[in-house]
Amino acid sequence: MRIFSACLLIFLLLFFLTVPLSLAHTDYQFPSYTEGQVNEALAKTVPIRFLPSNPLYFLITVKEMVSRFFRPSSLEKARFDSILSGKRLKETYLLLEKGDIKNASKSLRRYSKRLDSMTRQTEKARSQNQSVVAFIDELTEGLKLHEVLLSAISTKWQNYQEGYNFDDNFDAAFGEFIKTILTIDNIKPGLKNRFKTATSSATLEDGPFASPTPSPSLMIQDGSPSAKPRRIIY
């Protein structure tokens, strides 16, 4: 009887240790994109010389920090952050394709931070009466590429087991992406409708991530929700 109980206990432990790995992934309501569309998004994103797994990668990060430091205005810093966010997302896709989950997860975390920095710099530029309209148009085109890559990353991730907090970092990245869409939509109403992820997600209409109607003088201050989006699980 004791032997049976011990075997049962071991079986249950193994079951609960292994089953969560296969159930850890979250299904997001992304539109489907063809391989050609994904390749086009990769091609249109700024080229990458070294991936984070390369020993020389730190030289790239140092160069980026120095270049950003000398940007003359908040608007220019926001524009540079937009470029860097695209690089971080492209790195994530390429690293995941190579099976490097650890560095892919780190790049996702850097992507979230860069989007957050870009939003803050955009707010600062507006508070300084800098015109951000042209930048918002550029950003919208870039975010459409982000949507394609996020969808492709989500699909690729289903082939792997949970590890290195990838699910949590993807959740945060998706949240920053949606928050950025809502921010630019508050600056230039109607832009949200250009994103399939935003227009197909019920959380943007009815849930805690719904976009408020801001006053004309406080559009960006009132229209930048900080909550993460509710994940859609099938």
pLDDT single digits (tens) 72-129: 999 999 999 999 999 999 999 999 999 999 999 999 999 999 999 999 999 999 999 9
Average confidence (pLDDT) over 38-58: 93
Distance from C-alpha of 74 to C-alpha of 38, rounded to nearest angstrom = 31
Note the pTM of the prediction, 2 decimals.
0.75
80-89 pLDDT, tens digit per residue, is 999 999 999 9
211: confidence class by pLDDT, cuts 50, 70, 90: very low
Average confidence (pLDDT) over 4-22: 43
pLDDT at residue 41 tops 70: yes
123-138 pLDDT, tens digit per residue, is 999 999 999 999 999 9
Strands (DSSP E) along the chain, which ranges?
Answer: none
Q: Is the distance from CB of 7 to CB of 214 less than 8 angstroms? A: no
Q: Which residues contact 48 (CB under 8 A, 6 or more apart)?
A: 87, 90, 91, 94
pLDDT at 200: 64
Average confidence (pLDDT) over 4-32: 50
Distance from C-alpha of 189 to C-alpha of 201, rounded to nearest angstrom = 18
Distance from C-alpha of 22 to C-alpha of 205, rounded to nearest angstrom = 31
Q: Is 53 helix (H, G, I), strand (E, B) or coil?
A: coil
Distance from C-alpha of 36 to C-alpha of 34, rounded to nearest angstrom = 5
Q: Is the distance from CB of 183 to CB of 119 less than 8 angstroms? A: yes
For 47, 91, 97, 185, 216, the CA distances from 50, given in Å and listed in that order, are: 9, 9, 15, 34, 44
